[in-house]
Structure 1
Amino acid sequence: MRRSYENALRLLETRRRKTRPTNPAAPATPQDFATPSGNPTVKGIPSLVGMKEWLQALGHSENDVDNLNIIHITGTKGKGSTCAFTRSFLHTHGLKTGYPKRIGLYTSPDLQCIRERIQIDNQPITENLFTQYFFEVWETLTSPGLEIATGTTRQPRYLQLLALLAFHTFIKENVDAAIFETHHGGEYDATNVIRKPVVTGITSLGMDHVAQLGPTVEDIAWHKSGIFKPGAPAFSVSQETGPGEVLRKRATERNTDLTFVSSSHTLPVNEKVLSAPVQRLNCSLALQLVKRFLQLKDSKYVLDDDDISRGIDGFSWMGRFEVIESGRSRWFLDGAHNTLSLEQAAEWFSKNINAADAPTYRVLIFSHFSEERNGVDLLKCLAYALPKHDAKPDHVIFTTYQEREDGTTRIDKTLKVPETPFPDLCAIYTSLWKEIHPHATVSTEPTIQGAIKLAERISMQQGGMQAFVTGSLHLVGGALNLLRP
């Protein structure tokens, strides 16, 4: 096969499984029953299995991974933003001192293209670099000698392959520091092949991915704290009592110090970046991670007030608490896709729409299709949260993840198709919204482009509007491609 970007994407897509496994991992390991609820939660083959052997097959030792100087971050809400703040502070320090000169960042999912997941120096890696390293990984791990080298005929699944590609890329490109966001959980996550992170961080915890992580927030805390490693300082934002105690216990078991971080009152004023309270908390966590990271690398490294201010000014993270101005239309985009995130996004939207000269007409564009989460529960959360924060929409538009009306899709962005047909699911959403808000005006559009066009027509009729786009990163990514190509 020709080594092209398009062929790399086609091969990567073959490793995506159609559905998540439902059967418990067999045989169950003793650790499976160490979760607070006592129930095994690992389904199928854990994502961590095989990662060490595959890395070795690629020629990367444990020391090679250690030498990436990794900051490992997990949580339920705010992982991506915390990673981005962490990168921004490291970048600012690197500009001043020369360290770190090159910074790798691995996150998921992507909004606009797959290469967003693997970034170096604030930019997604190029198509050429992605293609080169992808085929190096693919050809090694599909070679006839793989079974002899690794003791298994299994090949990496989609997320495992992307994580391996990130490790391979960062090692080959000689980054000085790397920030890794987990996929789901922590204990059995593919990224937990990291043996010696410099520091680890946990963002806000809540109920998400319960099929894989367990039925209680304490179970989720147990899985997330699996990234704790002996001797690597651990930081977490302040948590509720139950999960907080789980984190403390796990830190003790892992022989590491755990520090809980509250929202800092000394951060500089920046209404654009820090207007959402949760972003102040994510920023505060990132700041502590970077301070300790630099201290451990060299005691002379210190972030001063100017570094912190420049780091916040330079922060960017697509699709999270993002505002786009277009004439009399203002678009508020946040890829919230769990109840904790939606509550925070609703509060942020409310805080930012009540300026004296702002349009008063409000539009909500919502879409959510997922095996893992109940879209009805998410919409119900939003239906109550927006009025509570004095941000009830005047017009609601339900749509899909299909971006364009002509049916075209980008080659490096996978279109997620719901199992339930669009008309049926949107009928359910419409019925639910009108049950809660009987006098609401509700529309459905089969594409994101159609939803945006409808909102723009409404804006012209009303002399302006404020649109809130939320419910899924797939929706927000598509909207960003149309609003800001």
Structure 2
Amino acid sequence: MIKLSDEYKKIINLLNKSKGLGTRPGLDAISELLRLMGNPHKSLKYIHVAGTNGKGSTSAFIASILMAAGYKIGVYNSPYTSKINEIIKINNKEISDPQLLNIITYISGLIEANDLDNDSLPTEFEIITSAAFLYFLQEDCDFVVLEVGMGGRLDATNIIPCPEIAVITPIGMDHMGFLGETIEAIAYEKAGIIKAQGTVVSSYQEKEALEVIKRASKEKEAFLKTVDNNNISIKEELITWQTFSYKDYPSLRITLLGKHQRENAALAIEAIEGLINNGYSIGRKDIYDGLIRATWPGRFQIMRKEKPIFIRDGAHNIQGAQALYHTLNYYFPGKKITFILGFLKDKAFEEILSVISTMSKKVFLVTPNSPRALSAEELEKVAKEYFHEVYIIKDVAKVTEEVMNQANEDDIICAFGSLYFIGELEM
């Protein structure tokens, strides 16, 4: 359990005033807030990353390469699991509690002093996003790798001017209640980060999603480059790293595992090449060094290498579950996996269960620490249709201990689902 400082408790008290606004797509409120702050977002350079899966990993690869090239890099991800500080970092160092408190206090004062009407009151996410902009400007970052929270077109992060590069990772079915019920509708929202005369790089996409991205790029007169997965060739795939080639980059090495991570790394390379074409100094060695140094907790992360092996993964939608299934099947062919699962209510959890049901020995269910959580009891009703052994663990903090106590030496344990519980797991 993380011990919270007095400063951090004050931050939470200030943010609690905006809790009731929930998720509210649109840019009007954050635009007004940033105007009151002097528009700090307009003085930064961005790599803007949208998509359904792989945003965090791709952002980590891009940021690591830029750091290897000597740039000072701000990174903004979401959501946070335990503390807001996790998602606001400069060169991999989280913002401190005193720094965050100072900025949140300043923003809260502006909101109160200007007596904003209800439609102009910013949500918690909009306040945190604005705080990140101001922090990155105060610290004189060379670039900000900015990950979209949800969607793209109406996401608070899309208030920025034209980024140096707009990056679109694989698009799939997620957040349908907000983004639409078809792949085309979701792709339309993701492609909303494309701006006039900008540069766009996209991963391999389903045909319907790619057509939407192409159309948006043409309408905005933006240059579009897509990753050709046929240019990726695997050389070595171990439990500690994988080595592969992409285009004219032989023997690239990354410690993030799985086929999808090779594709995320290739997308990062395309983004970096876009920056190079725009005149920024980044060498081939920086690309190699940055890729091998990149880390992203909770993405097929092997937390315990000795038996029983323990893995955690942030797969929380059908595409993520499919990628996890293939990765587990590659490294542990024929093994029955013990899963620990926890999801939010808006996820396609029944489809996810069906994907993993053929490889599962038993499942343990938890309720993530989120107001949007699907309770373990609700999940149990569906899980019993797919698995013979289903158990509920009430205390997320003790889930690792309880499962390990029941495990045999040869078991493979994999916890996945909502980042709100994945982030709390410790060994």
User: Normalising by structure 2, what TM-score?
Assistant: 0.89
Aligned to 2:216: 250
Aligned to 1:73: 49
Residue 382 of structure 1, aligned match among 350, 356, 359:
356
Residue 171 of structure 2, aligned match among 187, 190, 205:
205
Checking the alignment, whether the CA contact within 8 Å between 2:197 and 2:222 is kept in structure 1 is: yes
Checking the alignment, whether the CA contact within 8 Å between 1:73 and 1:182 is kept in structure 2 is: yes
Aligned to 2:180: 214
Aligned to 2:317: 338
User: Quick check: which one's strand share is greater?
Assistant: 2
Correspondences of 1:145-294 after superposition (within 5 Å): 145=114, 147=116, 154-263=120-229, 264-265=231-232, 266-267=245-246, 269=251, 273-294=255-276
Aligned mates of 1:361, 1:269 — CA distance in 2:
32
Checking the alignment, whether the CA contact within 8 Å between 2:50 and 2:167 is kept in structure 1 is: yes
Aligned to 2:329: 350
Find the residue that maps to 1:89 and give its secondary structure: helix
Find the residue that maps to 1:364 and give its secondary structure: strand
Find the residue that maps to 1:400 and give its secondary structure: coil
Cα distance, 1:453 vs structure 2: 2.3
- The one-letter code of the counterpart of 1:116 is E
Residue 126 of structure 1, aligned match among 91, 96, 110:
96
Q: Could you report, residue by residue, the CA deviation over 1:329-355 in whole angstroms, capped at 9, with x for unpaired residues?
A: 211111111101110011112222249
Aligned mates of 2:352, 2:27 — CA distance in 1:
30
- The one-letter code of the counterpart of 1:121 is N
In the alignment, does 2:344 pair up with 1:369?
Answer: yes
Residues 366 and 221 (structure 1), Cα distance of their counterparts in 2 relative to 1, 3 Å cut: same
Aligned mates of 2:339, 2:50 — CA distance in 1:
30
In the alignment, does 2:360 pair up with 1:393?
Answer: yes
Checking the alignment, whether the CA contact within 8 Å between 1:74 and 1:185 is kept in structure 2 is: yes
Aligned mates of 1:202, 1:420 — CA distance in 2:
29
- The one-letter code of the counterpart of 2:370 is K
Aligned to 2:298: 319
- The one-letter code of the counterpart of 2:17 is T
Residues 239 and 174 (structure 1), Cα distance of their counterparts in 2 relative to 1, 3 Å cut: same
- Please tell me the root mean square deviation across aligned C-alpha atoms, in Å: 2.4
Checking the alignment, whether the CA contact within 8 Å between 1:398 and 1:429 is kept in structure 2 is: no
Cα distance, 1:361 vs structure 2: 6.0
Checking the alignment, whether the CA contact within 8 Å between 1:204 and 1:239 is kept in structure 2 is: yes
Cα distance, 1:19 vs structure 2: 5.7
Aligned mates of 2:373, 2:341 — CA distance in 1:
17
**Bigger mean CA deviation after superposition, 440-449 or 75-84:** 440-449
Aligned mates of 2:254, 2:48 — CA distance in 1:
27
Aligned to 1:454: 402
Find the residue that maps to 1:187 and give its secondary structure: coil
Aligned to 1:51: 30
Checking the alignment, whether the CA contact within 8 Å between 2:342 and 2:374 is kept in structure 1 is: no
Checking the alignment, whether the CA contact within 8 Å between 2:19 and 2:124 is kept in structure 1 is: yes
Residues 277 and 290 (structure 1), Cα distance of their counterparts in 2 relative to 1, 3 Å cut: same
Cα distance, 1:320 vs structure 2: 1.1
User: Normalising by structure 1, what TM-score?
Assistant: 0.78
Aligned to 1:303: 283
Q: Could you report, residue by residue, the CA deviation over 1:4-37 in whole angstroms, capped at 9, with x for unpaired residues?
A: 32111122133223765xxxxxxxxxxxxxxxxx
- The one-letter code of the counterpart of 1:445 is I
In the alignment, does 2:64 pair up with 1:91?
Answer: no
- Tell me the percent identity: 25
Aligned mates of 1:420, 1:302 — CA distance in 2:
45
- The one-letter code of the counterpart of 2:155 is D
Checking the alignment, whether the CA contact within 8 Å between 2:73 and 2:141 is kept in structure 1 is: yes
Aligned to 2:370: 416
Find the residue that maps to 2:271 and give its secondary structure: helix
Aligned mates of 1:427, 1:223 — CA distance in 2:
33
Aligned mates of 1:426, 1:212 — CA distance in 2:
22
Q: Could you report, residue by residue, the CA deviation over 1:410-465 in whole angstroms, capped at 9, with x for unpaired residues?
A: xxxxx314676543x1431342223xxxxx33222112344322321233xx2332
Find the residue that maps to 1:433 and give its secondary structure: coil
Cα distance, 1:470 vs structure 2: 0.7
Checking the alignment, whether the CA contact within 8 Å between 2:46 and 2:165 is kept in structure 1 is: yes
Aligned to 1:6: 9
Find the residue that maps to 2:414 and give its secondary structure: strand
Aligned to 1:15: 18
In the alignment, does 2:384 pair up with 1:431?
Answer: yes
Q: Could you report, residue by residue, the CA deviation over 1:34-65 in whole angstroms, capped at 9, with x for unpaired residues?
A: xxxxxxxxxxx6331222221120122xxx53
- The one-letter code of the counterpart of 1:377 is E
Structure with the greater alpha carbon radius of gyration: 1
Q: Could you report, residue by residue, the CA deviation over 1:285-329 in whole angstroms, capped at 9, with x for unpaired residues?
A: 11111222243144xx2421x322211111111111211125422
Aligned mates of 1:322, 1:104 — CA distance in 2:
23
Checking the alignment, whether the CA contact within 8 Å between 1:205 and 1:217 is kept in structure 2 is: yes
Residues 272 and 443 (structure 1), Cα distance of their counterparts in 2 relative to 1, 3 Å cut: farther
Find the residue that maps to 2:269 and give its secondary structure: helix
In the alignment, does 2:88 pair up with 1:109?
Answer: no
Q: Could you report, residue by residue, the CA deviation over 1:371-405 in whole angstroms, capped at 9, with x for unpaired residues?
A: x224333323332xxx3xxxx1222211222xxxx
Unaligned runs of 5+ in 1: 21-44, 95-99, 402-414, 435-439
Aligned mates of 2:195, 2:105 — CA distance in 1:
32
Aligned mates of 2:199, 2:374 — CA distance in 1:
45
Checking the alignment, whether the CA contact within 8 Å between 1:294 and 1:302 is kept in structure 2 is: yes
Aligned mates of 1:55, 1:158 — CA distance in 2:
14
Q: Could you report, residue by residue, the CA deviation over 1:257-284 in whole angstroms, capped at 9, with x for unpaired residues?
A: 1111123532455776253111111111
